[in-house]
Structure 1
Amino acid sequence: MIKRMQGLAVALVVLSMVFWFGGCAKKVPTAPLPPPAAPKAPPATTLPPTSRPYQVLGKWYYPLPDARGFRETGIASWYGKPFHGRKTANGEIYDMYAESAAHKTLPLGTVVRVRNLLNGKEMDIRVNDRGPFVEGRIIDLSYACAQKLEVAGPGTAPVEVVAIGTTDAAAQSGKVDPNYFYTGNFTIQVGAFANRANADRLRQRLDREGYPYSHVVQGLVESGTVYRVRVSRSTSLEQAQVYQKHFRDNGFGDAFVVAE
């Protein structure tokens, strides 16, 4: 009996030591990971002139270093004869009858897809100038682009602007270089609603029909909240454009690619 009690006492001591050391092990603090080093902004003198901050009418503008993922909605306008024949911000001669656009902060050479939200018309345009510097406007189109998008008549129109690629700035040819087209996450927008219930019904319909990755994205426009229904995913613009055609051919005539 005494031996059995002694053995039990030893076992209890050993067990308590195991728990004690185990508890201590859990309490040993781990060294925190060092915070990532803050990226150093290059001195202004090392930036190309078209990428440096600039001031117009007392307001400073800061060009973006990269256009990947850029997307915005707002008012488009167009500019013509007072500027026709003058130099643009990248040194080209502005031709109002050629296809180009001006933006305040996108890198010059960016190719944007501009979509007129009133009629669904869209086109890809190269940014080669700065502007517009009128409050509330996000992009200035050349007269040629404004004509095609039906902005020239009214003078302004609500648009969606999505950066889809860039051109070879050294060549300044105005043609898109396929080697520079962005890869990333692309999806297809097939509808936009002011009522969330309508957006959910379309998403549920897409789910029933077997389309993958259908989802609703909430956003803000001038008239209020909008619920955008998007479907499908791809990692290249080329594949996304194939999906866009599929949806347009199957009852979604206003479907378009969105870079998420």
Structure 2
Amino acid sequence: MTLNSRLVILISLFIICVLSLSACTTGRYQHAQDFIPNPILDPSALKDAVVKAEPLSSMGNPKRYTVLGKEYEVMSRAAGFKQQGYASWYGMKFHGHATSNGEIYDVYQMTAAHKTLPLPSYVRVTRKDNQESIIVRVNDRGPFHPGRIIDLSYAAAVKLGIHKSGTSAVELEVIAVPVKGPEKWLQVSALSNEQSAKVLQQKLQAVQRWPVMISSNTKRNVHKVRIGPVPAGQATDKLITILRDNQLPKPLILAAHQL
């Protein structure tokens, strides 16, 4: 075998190794298995989530969604909701990744995941065996394992004392749910041609997720194309950016009394 042939083989083997390693680290999560942080947390230093009034998250609250072939319906009303089942926890594999409502998961915060509660919600989690309880802020979806009703952050699991066993029978009680904040409507255009308004409506529905309605005044022959209601603030700002990026008209922002 010539020197050149050996070099070609060695280079080929090196490329294969690099590609193999890349394949192992691609995907949403860097780690294949979950693990605990280091150093281990001190339960006495952990504080319950501080309950406060918050608006409904602009992300993570669809009416319905499907995971692993099963459909879930997000609750529109959850005040006073109680549930019994098993709690589990999730750790460093998910640390630093986005939660369902767009926040970043932090194993050191008192948070949790639930399949159908509106995000964010505040929940008291009580162990059935010793009546120990904690308060967590639900900002994620899951767990999608049979029998489990809530996935706690690692910090919450440590405070509740279930981090070693992995799971525990618990009761959930919702103590605070999102409050309905101010809403806006974005009027994208007012057209004299109804068919043109319908075409614009379809374009808007294709590029964003909020409802698009046509408000028609037949006497004046005006058809107003509006998006909304949309939560005021970040969601509205993001929607304006989406419209601009898709070369759509700059909207007129309206409050409920201006419709």
**Larger of the two Rg values belongs to structure:** 1
Greater relative contact order, per chain length (Cα 8 Å cut-off, separation 6+) = 2
